[in-house]
Amino acid sequence: MTQRISLTQYLVEQQREHGHIPGQLRLLIEVVARACKRIAIAVNKGALGEVLGSAGSENVQGEVQKKLDIISNEVLIEANEWGGHLAAMASEEMDDIHVVPNRYPQGEYMLLFDPLDGSSNIDVNVSIGTIFSVLRKVSNHRGVSEEDFLQPGKQQAAAGYCVYGPQTTLVLTVGDGVAMFTLDRETGSWVLTTEQVQIPADTKEFAINMSNMRHWDAPVSRYIDECLAGKEGPRGKDFNMRWVASMVADVHRILTRGGVFLYPWDKREPNKPGKLRLMYEANPMAFLVEQAGGLATNGTQRIMDLQPTKLHERVSVILGSKHEVQRVTGYHLEKVAAASSQD
């Protein structure tokens, strides 16, 4: 039996060997990991725990909130506000930021999260997950405001997710590669099961919601049409398709065996740049994917270079195997170049 190391031992060794993880950040990660364990217990109760179904309210996105959305959000808030490692938190489920109450010491980090992504899958027992992103409070003025959160993804100190699937797995980066920890339910501890995750540069698997095909922009239609043309087409190979409709599950598959994930802008709501949220979905996933050797763009720009203007802003997302993301991005840039040459 190989000696398994725990999340705590991993973080201590990372801190000792690489100095990547200041004490406050280590505490933050351990507290978030503990909160994810509590969320996993609630999620796994299902119909036995009176946690399924709608909460009868809407979030800032105008989406119906599930009971587990609210439970997960509250677990993360309560777990993190007393530790002294955070100045504030932001969540998909909350209109405004949550500043750490004055009764607790304020820390140097800010935590953003989608407490339970993929909620439409909760009641049908399909994998869902928690996504989190960590920023440093860079302004030295007293207090903290929404503007403090508006930093590009390349400023992230850490990012990760917990996928509640056949296994409960925590996936984490602090900027020194990607590590995966599986929850050992017998001991209740996170056990390191994979480190230095690498996404293959090539793939034969794409993930997109095909029902939106008629609404796509030309570069996306071109890319998917070429994949569907298979061996006889310009790609010279057959492709497979997966779409879980849980970003955490789709990204976990890509980190595990490669692939390309697309949630692009489409004509349904032309004024919206995309469906997914930049700050607490796209940025953390982009950090993980890049740390695992993949790429993440919005079609024309690196996602982690984007300067946010609003906390809940949306973005078009193309991420995964390097060569595929380069191809899709290249098709978008060809369209931009053609349009500017006509001006």
Cα gap 164→249, rounded to integer Å: 9
Cα gap 133→174, rounded to integer Å: 10
Tell the smallest beta-carbon distance from residue 118 to ligand P6P (Å). Answer: 4
Read off φ and ψ for residue 63, nearest 5 degrees: -95, 145
Residue nearest to ligand P6P (CB): 247
Radius of gyration over alpha carbons of the chain, in Å? 20
For residue 270, what is the DSSP state? Answer: T
Measured between alpha carbons, how far is residue 16 from residues 9, 11, 94, 336 in Å? 10, 9, 37, 47
* Closer residue to ligand P6P, CB minimum distance, 247 or 318: 247
One symbol per residue from 104 to 143: x for binding ligand P6P (CB under 6 A), - otherwise; what is it? -------------xx-x-----------------------
Cα gap 147→159, rounded to integer Å: 20
Q: State which of positions 66-105 bind ligand P6P (CB under 6 A).
A: none
Q: Which of 213, 241, 245, 337 binds ligand P6P (CB under 6 A)?
A: 245
Q: Does 246 bind ligand P6P (CB under 6 A)?
A: yes
Q: What DSSP line would sit under 115-166, residue for residue?
A: EEETGGGGGGT--EEEEEEEEE----SSS--HHHH---GGG-SEEEEEEESS
Tell the smallest beta-carbon distance from residue 70 to ligand P6P (Å). Answer: 16
* Closer residue to ligand P6P, CB minimum distance, 117 or 148: 117
* Closer residue to ligand P6P, CB minimum distance, 183 or 285: 285
Tell the smallest beta-carbon distance from residue 275 to ligand P6P (Å). Answer: 6
One symbol per residue from 269 to 288: x for binding ligand P6P (CB under 6 A), - otherwise; what is it? ------xx------------
One symbol per residue from 175 to 214: x for binding ligand P6P (CB under 6 A), - otherwise; what is it? ----------------------------------x-----
How, if at all, do strands 128-136 and 158-164 pair?
antiparallel
Stretch that binds ligand P6P, among 22-30, 173-181, 245-253, 303-311 (CB under 6 A): 245-253
Alpha helix segments (H runs only) across 46-107: 67-80
* Closer residue to ligand P6P, CB minimum distance, 25 or 255: 255
Cα gap 195→83, rounded to integer Å: 28
Residues that bind ligand P6P (CB under 6 A): 117-118, 120, 209, 245-247, 263, 275-276
